[in-house]
Structure 1
Amino acid sequence: MDIQLKGKRALVTGSSSGLGEAIAKMLADEGATVIIHGRDKDRAEKVANSILEKGGIAEVAIGDLSTDEGADQVAEAALKSGQIDILVNNAGATSHKSWGEATADDWLDIYNTNVVSYVRMIQRIVPQMKKLGWGRVIHIGGGLGIQPIKEQPHYNATLAARHNVSVSLARSLKETGITSNVVSPGAIINPMVEDWLKNAAPKFNWGTDMEEIKYRAVQDLIPNDTGRFGEPEEIAGTVLYLCSRFSDYISGSVIRVDGGTIRCL
């Protein structure tokens, strides 16, 4: 099936590792030119080279999106070789501080990193999409923005803000050919999560086998209809769909990919 990404150029922020890396690699596999972004040049180039070795097309843009100067650097590098058709806003940070621990400065810092950084890239990339008459803006959100928990309130709030920003952007892009949507992941397994599970297993009496640990952790912490953690490729696949020609009629939406963790209509 041709989803018509050949010739498209996609900037995926925070793609030098983790979920962003999985998204960038899947876009490249479908023929898109991907711009790998990160703050560490060596890590970003490693991802780009792995794509090039498979016959894909990849470039690198380095910069800290928490500053205007860093965002300028990333946008300039991304646009140097041509237009950007697809912007995937993925870069961000997490924090596990509680209400009693997170200071006002912590709130300001994570809002800048997780929300204003998205706005910076929208402001620098979307205007040239309007000239193209087609574009995709995809924001990575999260279930805690829909159903927040008592812990990490400042982080939860940034996810809700990402969702709000994306829908507002969709309204402003009416009849431009550009869509704006959110992909909202549930709990996704990765090496960092596996390390945390392994260390937490004795405290929660989850056993010693990693598969058993993962299953019991899901039951205790994130019960969902699939009974498991999600995989990065499952998020990437949803992003890929929203980038395709088959999603022209989807805008201002929040697509939950969480196994049914969030229970709302």
Structure 2
Amino acid sequence: MDVNLTGRRALVTGSSSGLGEAIARLLATEGADVVVHGRDVVRARTVAADIGAVAVAIGDLATDEGADAVAATAGEVDILVNNAGTYDHSGWDDATPQVWVRTYEVNVVSGVRMIRRLVPGMRERGWGRVIQIGGGLSSQPTPMLPHYSASLAARHNLAVSLARELKGTGVTSNVVSPGAILVDSVERFLTEMAPERGWGESWEEIERNAARDFVPNDFGRFGRPEEIAGAVVYLASPYADYVSGATIRVDGGTIRSVI
């Protein structure tokens, strides 16, 4: 199926590894001119070469200078995927106010910086896509990761506000909300925890039991990066012209809601 992205220029922030890499890869496969972003030059260039990206943008989006550098390299972007972010496994006792501030800066303000730099051009050209990568913890937080969950809620909120701002411009703003996704760092974390949790020895046992304990869902597993990428590609395509201010949950049914 051709999703009509040929010739569209896409910037995926945080795309030198993990979920961002999977999103960039699928956008490139579907014909988009992808700009890979990261802070590690070697990793970003490696991914870019592998997927056939048109450019590599290096910069720390938690700073104005880094955002300026990335925007200058990215050029006239039609599709902005705000994926870059950070999280740790801190709870209320460990997440100091300084950790909260840093998390908000990286997970929320970095995306705002890119919106301010790239969306005006989309408005002038009359077409564009802004996609935030959010998460189910935005609406159903747990006692752990309070700072991270709050930053996800802000991402969801700003996406809807931006959609209202962009009314009638041809530019849409939406959210893809993943459940727990099996990137390399998550697999390592779960494997290290398995012995003390009694999750078994084979990866099949570990994944099934970890999903049961951490993210109960209708499939008994963690999501795959490619499944998130598919939702992003849909929202980036003309097939989603009538979708704005929406959240697409790709979480195996972890979040239980009738709306």
- Quickly name the TM-score band, shorter chain normalised: over 0.9
- Measured against aligned partners, the alpha-carbon deviations of 1:140-183 in whole angstroms (never above 9, x if no partner) come to 00110010111111111000000001000000000000000000
Equivalent pair of 1:51/1:58 in contact (CA under 8 Å): no
Matches for 1:68-83 after TM superposition, within 5 Å = 68-79=64-75, 83=76
Aligned partner of 1:11 in structure 2 is 11
CA distance in 2, matches of 1:198, 1:40: 26
After TM superposition, the score normalised by the length of structure 1 is: 0.96
CA distance in 2, matches of 1:192, 1:67: 25
- Measured against aligned partners, the alpha-carbon deviations of 1:23-61 in whole angstroms (never above 9, x if no partner) come to 001000011100000011111100111023xxxx42101
Q: Secondary structure at the match of 1:136?
A: strand
- Measured against aligned partners, the alpha-carbon deviations of 1:182-211 in whole angstroms (never above 9, x if no partner) come to 000001012211111111111111110111
CA distance in 2, matches of 1:221, 1:88: 27
Aligned partner of 1:139 in structure 2 is 132
Please tell me the residue identity of whatever aligns with 1:7.
Answer: G
2:196 to 203, 206, 227: 203
Matches for 1:20-59 after TM superposition, within 5 Å = 20-52=20-52, 57-59=53-55
Q: Percent sequence identity over matched residues?
A: 62
After TM superposition, the score normalised by the length of structure 2 is: 0.98
Q: Secondary structure at the match of 1:166?
A: helix
By how many angstroms is 1:245 displaced? 1.1
Q: How many equivalent residue pairs?
A: 258
Aligned partner of 1:260 in structure 2 is 253
Equivalent pair of 1:28/1:58 in contact (CA under 8 Å): no
Structure 2 segments unaligned to the other structure (5+ residues): none
Matches for 1:189-200 after TM superposition, within 5 Å = 189-200=182-193
By how many angstroms is 1:95 displaced? 2.0
2:58 to 57, 62, 72: 62
Please tell me the residue identity of whatever aligns with 1:84.
Answer: V
By how many angstroms is 1:226 displaced? 1.3
Q: Secondary structure at the match of 2:54?
A: strand
Structure 1 segments unaligned to the other structure (5+ residues): none
By how many angstroms is 1:2 displaced? 2.0
**Runs ≥4 residues deviating over 6 A:** none
* Range with greater deviation from structure 2 (190-199 or 203-212): 190-199
Equivalent pair of 1:139/1:182 in contact (CA under 8 Å): yes
CA distance in 2, matches of 1:147, 1:122: 26
CA distance in 2, matches of 1:101, 1:28: 40
Aligned partner of 1:181 in structure 2 is 174
Aligned partner of 1:113 in structure 2 is 106
Question: RMSD of the TM alignment (CA)?
Answer: 0.8
Please tell me the residue identity of whatever aligns with 2:6.
Answer: K
- Measured against aligned partners, the alpha-carbon deviations of 1:123-142 in whole angstroms (never above 9, x if no partner) come to 00000001110000000001
By how many angstroms is 1:221 displaced? 1.6
Please tell me the residue identity of whatever aligns with 1:76.
Answer: A
Please tell me the residue identity of whatever aligns with 1:121.
Answer: M
CA distance in 2, matches of 1:154, 1:118: 17
Q: Secondary structure at the match of 1:101?
A: coil
* Range with greater deviation from structure 2 (107-116 or 94-103): 94-103
CA distance in 1, matches of 2:191, 2:74: 39
Aligned partner of 1:241 in structure 2 is 234
CA distance in 2, matches of 1:31, 1:156: 34
Q: Secondary structure at the match of 1:138?
A: strand
